[in-house]
Amino acid sequence: MSLRILIYLILVTVSTALPAWGVELTPFSVRNLSPPALVKGLPVAESVRLNQPGQSSVRLGFDIANIATDNQRDDELIVLDGETYVATLGLRYGLAEHLQVGFDLPWVWQSKGFLDSFIEDFHDLFGLPNGDRNNMPKDKINYLYSSSDGDDFLLDEEANSIGDIRLLAAWQWLDTEQAAASLQASIKAPTGDSDKFTGSGGWDISLALSAQRDFPLEKGGASLWGGLGGSWLDDGDVLQSRTENWAASGWLGAGWSPLDWLGLKLQLDSHSALYDSDLKEIGNAALMLTMGGTLGLGEATALDIGVGEDLATSTSPDVVFHLNLNHNF
């Protein structure tokens, strides 16, 4: 199925769902899906307003990420060419006053993909450079790293498995009509497969502080949100000797709801380098931009739709398509 047909079907589905109900402006729950970064347990932005005691929310996310880059420096060589699909089932439960617990259970596919031609045509249409894509075969998978110290990886065939499960707990320390803040802790367990780039083979622990300020407008509303986090990353099995054991993360976003059923959103996400390397693909800080919005599909149901771009070239996928369906009950 072509991307154009897929977008058309989504639009038809959305239009038949209207009229819809009011939406809550919340952050995009996105992360760096470059294979070496995906396996690390960095904190992910999400709603700073937690569930009340006994209230639950279920989320089903689906992300498609396409990357094509290669680089060589001194004794290091890297090739990242492929497509990653991640389906995530998440649960959040209000355990007590101001306390929420939950988990994220991902399934990860490393694939040859189908978006290479579309991305190249899009770049050509707007006069944008294709960079390393011009030197790579279309719709192939090749994740390769080699160095003189013998710490390397190679995946050149499609693979999929359960990813690394994340266990979460959050504490609401501020909740007013127009402002909210929460502290979130997470533990990532090594349930994935490092040989398939569905997991790191190690435990990761993260702590993040996030806040949001809402602004009522004459028509609709607007919001600003942001967060800062720190992580301890186990060496794991992916570039074990080069893993940076401490990493910082952050996000900053804004939203505007011009209609009761629609919220438009923009968000920047960043993290520090995850590996000790001279290659920018794994040794530089990442900066990603996600644009899109939220559609209200019912009194307790909302759908996030976003498109992500790598502002720091080659440190994250060239393009990411993000869907996240959330239902409260």
Convert the pLDDT of each residue in 56-109 to its tens digit.
Answer: 999 999 999 999 999 999 999 999 999 999 999 999 999 999 999 999 999 999
pLDDT classification of 149: cutoffs 50, 70, 90: confident
Query: Which domains does the chain show, CATH number per domain?
Result: 3-63+90-108+162-328 (2.40.160.40)
| Residue 68 near residue 133, CB atoms below 8 Å | yes
Quickly count: other Cβ atoms within 10 Å of residue 300's Cβ. Answer: 12
Q: Which of 324, 321, 323 is nearest to 66 (CA)?
A: 321
pLDDT higher at 140 or 219: 140
**11 has pLDDT over 60:** no
pLDDT higher at 166 or 134: 166
**127 has pLDDT over 80:** no
Distant-in-sequence, close-in-space partners of 217: CB < 8 Å, separation ≥ 6: none
pLDDT classification of 227: cutoffs 50, 70, 90: very high
Residue 57's beta-bridge partner residues? 92, 328
d(CA 320, CA 171): 30
Q: How far apart are the first and last CA of the chain?
A: 34
**171 has pLDDT over 60:** yes
Q: What is the pLDDT of residue 12?
A: 46
Query: How far is residue 150 from each of residues 29, 145, 153, 310, measured CA to CA in Å?
Result: 35, 10, 9, 29
d(CA 251, CA 247): 14
Q: What is the pLDDT of residue 138?
A: 82
Reading phi first (left if > 0) and then psi (alpha if -120 to 50, else beta), residue 233 is in: beta
Q: What is the pLDDT of residue 1?
A: 44
Reading phi first (left if > 0) and then psi (alpha if -120 to 50, else beta), residue 255 is in: beta
Average pLDDT over residues 20-33: 88
**222 has pLDDT over 80:** yes
| 5-19, 82-96, 290-304: range with lowest mean pLDDT | 5-19
With b for 16 or more beta-carbon neighbours within 10 A and e for fewer, the 99-135 pattern comes to ebbbbbebbbbbbbbebbeebbeeeeeeeeebebbee
pLDDT higher at 125 or 219: 219
Tokens at residue 34, please?
Answer: 């470059």
pTM confidence score: 0.91
Q: What values do phi and psi take at 8, rounded to 5?
A: -60, -45
Q: What is the pLDDT of residue 61?
A: 98
Q: What is the pLDDT of residue 126?
A: 61
Q: What is the mean pLDDT of the chain?
A: 91
37 alpha-carbon distance from chain centroid: 10
| 114-118, 183-187, 252-256: range with lowest mean pLDDT | 114-118
d(CA 264, CA 291): 8
| Residue 266 near residue 253, CB atoms below 8 Å | yes
d(CA 73, CA 68): 17
| Residue 285 near residue 315, CB atoms below 8 Å | yes
